Amino acid sequence: MESLLFPLESNLETLEIYLRTLLCELLNPRACPVLYCMLIHHLSHALFRESSPIKAKVLEEANAGGGSGGVADAKQAGTTTKWKLEKLIRSVEKSSNEQLRRHLHEYSHYDSSCTYRLALISTHV
């Protein structure tokens, strides 16, 4: 399981596919709890954690300079990444699937004894 969860996914296009799969309800969490957990794990870390590798990338690109295009290109790349990240977050927030929103916001860690293998923050408070 560890190899499915780490390293954390940082490719926005891959994360978008993960989210579309969940939003379109193409994946039945009861039938495929391990895959469901993997998607929730990567999306939750990328979209809703302060330690998100994507959020770090946005900051890095926004603060970067130099290179052939200089500061303007670096800021444009950071703006594009930030826009894509915000678009994914908005997609989650607009979803009518309350369970999915809750799982993405409250995911804590993988736990084989929990429903769908998801340990949620609310269950550990």
Question: Which pLDDT does position 80 carry in this prediction?
Answer: 86
Rounded-to-integer distance, Cα 54 and Cα 31, Å: 30
The whole-model pTM stands at 0.85
pLDDT of residue 123: 57
What is the spatial distance between Cα 78 and Cα 63, in angstroms, rounded to a whole number? 8
How large is the average pLDDT for residues 98-105?
97
Whether residue 85 contacts residue 54, with contact meaning beta carbons closer than 8 Å, is answered with: yes
What is the Rg, in whole angstroms, of the alpha carbon atoms belonging to the chain?
A: 16
**What would the pLDDT profile of 39-94 be if each residue is shown by its tens digit?**
999 999 999 998 898 888 888 877 775 455 555 565 566 688 889 999 999 999 99
Q: Return the pLDDT at 77.
A: 62
Q: For the residues 98-125, what does the mean pLDDT come to?
A: 90
pLDDT band of residue 122 (cuts 50, 70, 90) is confident
pLDDT reported for residue 125:
43
Residue 93 confidence (pLDDT): 97
φ, ψ for residue 115, nearest 5 deg: -55, 130
